[in-house]
Amino acid sequence: MYQILEKRALNTDVDWMVIKAPLVAKNAQPGHFVILRVDEVGERIPLTIVEHTDSTITIIYQKLGFSTMKLGELEIGDTIHDLVGPLGRPTHIRDVSSIIAVAGGVGAAPLYPQLRAYKAKGVNIELVLGARDKSHLILLNEYRALCNEVHVCTDDGSFGTKGFVTVLLERILQEKTFDHSIAIGPLIMMKNVVALNDSFELATDVSLNPIMIDGTGMCGNCRVSIHGETYFACVDGPDFPADGINFDELIVRQNYYHDQEHVCSLGLKHK
């Protein structure tokens, strides 16, 4: 069984959790993810492996939908019904000397193992870390320890610069140049960051988190159009060079079950 060894709230919506999962941890690398089911009827939900030891993995999740709320109800000592991984391709760590990374909201979680891998190679890293408000900023201290510079912004101005990550990013790009960029966050944020980076002729890697069922290339729910070709985020990704990704199509695919998700969450709140 997959026992929860540690758990703490990073803010009201986001939890950090360490789970015993030796078979997942054994071969895990930065960029890998797991799929878990909270209980015996649970949905299969994909989550990035943020850190791992020989026998444990760390996940960070936002209690946004029905299944992540159910996950949030579990406590230390409880077990997760099913957990499988490591899934996906490990992040392609590029041969560069400087990186500007951009993380929006809980996107800061999947970014963390990637930046650690870049840091280990001695890459100069600057990060734009954005969130709705001060309380939704996560991993700020960890990133301050990891990055050469961390630029913070919040939508409401309660911490750091007021405004979206793109506002801050544009300002930085006008002053400095970087070899490469990584953006992880909501699809619309990634779309806008990529467009901005493009205007500075800066290539971007993104990490996609579409709806998945099996996570092994079987169902095709997670497909992504890149330059008109189809890729499966679960086995070809979840990290991709952003060039040519059809974000608009992805946004529709991501929201296709929005109404049903709402029905489920209502049931949870009424309990």
Partner 1 sequence: MKMPRETMPVLDPKERSKNFDEVACGFTLAQSQLEASRCLDCKNPRCIEACPVHVEIPKFIHEIIDGRIEDAYFTLYKDNILPAICGRVCPQEKQCEGACVLGIKGDSVAIGALERFLGDYALEHQLHKPTDIVDNHIKVAIVGSGPAGLANAASMRLLGYDVTIFEALHEFGGVLKYGIPDFRLPKHIVEAEIDRLKELGIHFEKNVIIGKSITIDQLKNDYNFKAIFIGSGAGLPSALGIPGENFSGVYYANEFLTRVNLMKSRDFPKSPTPVRIGQRVAVVGGGNVAMDAARTAKRLGAKEVFILYRRDMESLPARLDEIHHAIEEQIEFRLLRNPVTFIGEDYVVKQVKCEIMTLGERDSSGRRRPLPTGTYETFDIDSCIISIGQKPNPILKDATIGLEVNKWGCIVVNDYQTSIPGVFAGGDVVSGAATVILAMGAGKDASVYMDRYINEKKN
Binding-site ranges for partner 1 (CB under 8 A): 23-24, 26-27, 37, 41-44, 66-67, 81-87, 213-214, 216-221, 223-225, 230, 235, 246, 248-249, 252-253, 256-257, 260-261, 263-264, 267
CB of 183 to partner 1, least distance (A): 21
CB of 149 to partner 1, least distance (A): 36
> Which is closer to partner 1, CB of 64 or CB of 203?
64
Cβ density class 230-261: b for 16+ within 10 Å, e for less = ebbbbebbbbbebeebebeebeebbeeeeeeb
> Which is closer to partner 1, CB of 86 or CB of 237?
86
Q: Which helix (H) or strand (E) holds 113?
A: helix 108-120
> Which is closer to partner 1, CB of 90 or CB of 163?
90
CB of 85 to partner 1, least distance (A): 7
Nearest residue to 39 (alpha-carbon basis) of 75, 79, 77 = 79
> Which is closer to partner 1, CB of 44 or CB of 116?
44
Q: Which burial class, exposed, middle or buried, applies to 184 when counting CB atoms under 10 A from its CB (0-12, 13-18, 19+)?
A: buried
> Which is closer to partner 1, CB of 81 or CB of 176?
81
CB of 191 to partner 1, least distance (A): 14
- Sequence letter at residue 264: C
CB of 155 to partner 1, least distance (A): 26
Q: Which burial class, exposed, middle or buried, applies to 111 when counting CB atoms under 10 A from its CB (0-12, 13-18, 19+)?
A: buried
Nearest residue to 185 (alpha-carbon basis) of 228, 217, 155 = 155
Q: Which residues pair with 151 in a beta bridge?
A: 128
CB of 89 to partner 1, least distance (A): 9
217 token code pair? 């290339």
Instruction: State the Cα–Cα distance between residues 231 and 36, nearest whole angstrom.
Output: 22
> Which is closer to partner 1, CB of 26 or CB of 162?
26
Residue 265: strand, helix, or coil: helix
